Amino acid sequence: PNALSFALNEDKSKYSQTSINLLGYTISKNHIKPDEDRLQPLLKLRSPSNHKDLKRALGMFAHYAKWIPHYSDRIRPLIQIKSFPLSPEMNKLIDTLKTDIAASMVSAIDDNESFLVETDASDFAIAATLSQRGRPVAFFSRSLSDSELNHPAIEKEAAAIVEALRKWR
């Protein structure tokens, strides 16, 4: 055989598929979402009973942060937890984040369509959504640094715009 030849294993080949699981994602014609099989450890995660468990949960959520609009604002109450067991409100927040991640999907990017960047800033975080035809294709958010917390709202909004444009240029 020469250097350009290759062989296909018929037993490992699939044809006429409407979606594929690849690198932790389920990819279909118009959408991309987290692979359901890979989500199972997150969905089965019990309520944290100590700081180590909470850090583990936050790490798992962070892996899926790009699928959650306003992620940094939404997890802030969890980051501030000091005592256990968790309150019913915190358990509900964890369950809501799990549900949102499991249901999340973004549209596949169409190179022929224009993009819309929407940004927002809160007292504690900045966030942005990249959309095409009114459907999200990507999310971004981060918590503000200690020095940024003191900035006026207009500067926080400007920071959200600048960072979104840097991320998606």
* Average confidence score pLDDT of the chain: 91
Query: What's the alpha-carbon Rg for the chain, to the nearest Å?
Result: 20
Residue 37 CB contacts under 8 Å (≥ 6 apart), including other chains: 21
Report CA-CA distances (Å) from 132 to 110, 136, 149: 8, 6, 31
Domain boundaries, the chain: 36-103, 109-168
CATH topology of domain 109-168: Ubiquitin-like (UB roll) (3.10.20)
pLDDT in tens, 76-122: 999 999 999 999 999 999 999 999 999 988 888 888 999 999 999 99
The answer to whether residue 144 scores a pLDDT higher than 60 is yes
Strand boundaries in the chain, DSSP class E: 19-22, 25-28, 31-34, 106-107, 116-121, 125-132, 135-143
Taking the C-alpha atoms of residue 17 and residue 112, their distance in angstroms, rounded to an integer, is 25
The answer to whether residue 1 scores a pLDDT higher than 60 is no
The answer to whether residue 2 scores a pLDDT higher than 90 is no
Buried-exposed string 14-31: b where 16+ CB fall within 10 A, e elsewhere: eeeeeeeeeeebbbeeee
Taking the C-alpha atoms of residue 123 and residue 11, their distance in angstroms, rounded to an integer, is 55
Taking the C-alpha atoms of residue 37 and residue 64, their distance in angstroms, rounded to an integer, is 14
As beta bridge partners, residue 34 has 25
As beta bridge partners, residue 141 has 127
